[in-house]
Amino acid sequence: MEAASKPAKQMRWHPAVLRWAIAIHMKSASAYSIVREAGYLSLPHPSTLYKYTHFTNPHTGINSELLTKFYRDNNISSRKKHEKYVALLMDEMKISSGLAFSRSTGRLIGFCDIGSISSEMEDFEKRCTSDKTEPVLASHVLLFMARGITTSLKFPVAYYATASLKASQLHEMTYEVITALKLMDLTVLCLVSDGAASNRRLYQNLGGKGKTELSPAHFCWNWFGDEEKIFFICDVPHLLKTLRNNMENSNWSRKTRNLVFRGQKIQWTDLISFMEWDQGRHRTTPGLRFAPKLTHEHLYLTPGLRMKVRLAAQVMSNTVANGLELMKRKELGSAILFLRKVNKFFDCLNVARLDQGTRSRNENLKPYTSEDDPRFEWLLKDFLGFLTEWATEGETIEGLTKKEKAQLCISRQTIAGVYITVHSFTEIARKLLRLEGVRYVLSDKLNQDPIEEFFGKQRGQGGTMTTQLLSSLAMHMSGT
């Protein structure tokens, strides 16, 4: 009513209305105009939205104006110590290679830009090794996002245009971003990424050599001398999909695995047999299923379906394990054990809400409120012990090549990722629970969901396009 009665130029729009209007306008400017001109809702003029989304000239790297605005708006300086701890998320998104001209800066956008120092070193290397120094078009964008661990803080910090990223370049970018956050009086408690090769090498460069191949370093010391550790986290949803993929490739799909534990095979075909048995009409109760969510798309995966965490979680579940038990086949014992272990591991590291465990009647989904929570010991001793036993079991078998022994267990990279994540999470949770004012810890705070949601918005705002130009992403980042 207030918006309808006041002249448009005198209207002071609520921040929530502005954010909602910007989201719609970025999705479709024409749809926004239709809604606004219909007269049912009083919405800001597009020129008003433009002032909010273009208050600074977007560019690759760290935008100090954006960070300064966020620092003031969220009153960072007056927050408690535990509220200043953040997780630094990093991930890449595929973009469409191309060039766009920025009228505000007079520059062409679309070339690789990985920070001033890294870009200069790369140019120098090219000049030394080749006569051709033509600029390379970016094919990916690497985004850094900060997420509060005990708060709802969540904001993109920097992005870089990349083509093929080296671990040394990623190290330089990470250092710049952590330094920028330190200047905002925020402390990075952990780095969260997927299991890409460059991310694994970054962790090795930062943390040094671990005890063994299966137990790599899971932290490094903060270089600002605060006696704080920076822990490494491998994104748990990515780990879940990797564990599922190892089972899928056991004598199926790529056939790169031949999983065997305690003398019993763990094969993807066992799940296919279970689904066919569960759907079969020969049973005494046709139409009633033990695993009603298990469908053809869960087991016959395409590249797109492999990306969906929901499908992996529904396969690697207690429901499927219970169904396999009902088939009463002794040779499925190890497969059932594997599914149960992975299901509990994912539940323990996927606590998103205070009431999640109560509503789902699942103790593993309750928030962590004590340093003595039994789930910590289960993760460190039971689950990691299970993976260690499995990895060493195959080494004792004679008559097999080194490659054949390795195929009997899930990949070493996956085990190392689980080891890093479990040790980092347990130390982080216990550290936070010792601080004054921290009543609980939600393990879901240490995954990449916010950055995936951000990328999803960018893809959606591109209409029918599946990739985004750097100029478009820069504008959207300014409007978040």
DSSP 214-229: TB---EEE-TTSSS-E
DSSP annotation of 441: B
Count of residues making up the chain? 480
Q: Which contiguous run of DSSP H or E holds residue 196?
A: none
Q: What is the C-alpha to C-alpha distance for residues 327 and 277, in angstroms, rounded to an integer?
A: 8
Q: According to the model, what pLDDT value does residue 126 have?
A: 56
| 475 or 162, which is more confident | 162
Question: For 220-248, what is each residue's pLDDT tens digit?
Answer: 999 887 778 999 999 999 999 999 999 99
| Residue 145 reports pLDDT greater than 90 | yes
Q: What are phi and psi of 342, to 5 degrees?
A: -65, -40
Question: Which whole-number Å values give the CA distances from 216 to 171, 207, 238, 241, in the listed order?
Answer: 18, 8, 18, 21
413-421: average pLDDT: 96
Show me where the domains of the chain are located.
2-53, 61-194+448-478, 239-444
pTM: 0.85
Helix (H) or strand (E) holding 114: none
Question: In the prediction, which pLDDT does 466 show?
Answer: 35
CA dihedral of 196, 201, 202, 206, whole degrees rounded to 10: 150
Closest CA to 305 of 245, 254, 366, 261: 245
Give dist(CA 91, CA 215) in Å, integer: 24
pLDDT band (50, 70, 90) for residue 404: very high
Q: Which pLDDT value is given to residue 118?
A: 56
Helices 167-183 and 116-129, interaxial angle, to 10°? 160
Give the distance from CA 9 to its chain's centroid: 42
Report the range of poorest mean pLDDT among 9-23, 93-107, 161-175, 254-268: 93-107
pLDDT confidence of 464, banded at 50, 70, 90?
very low
Is 154 in contact with 146 (CB distance < 8 Å)? yes
What is the widest separation between alpha-carbon atoms in the chain? Answer: 85
Q: Residue 426: pLDDT band by 50, 70, 90 thresholds?
A: very high
Tell me the mean pLDDT in the region 443-460.
86
Look-up of token digits 């708060």: 151
Chain segment 316-331, per-residue pLDDT in tens: 999 999 999 998 999 9
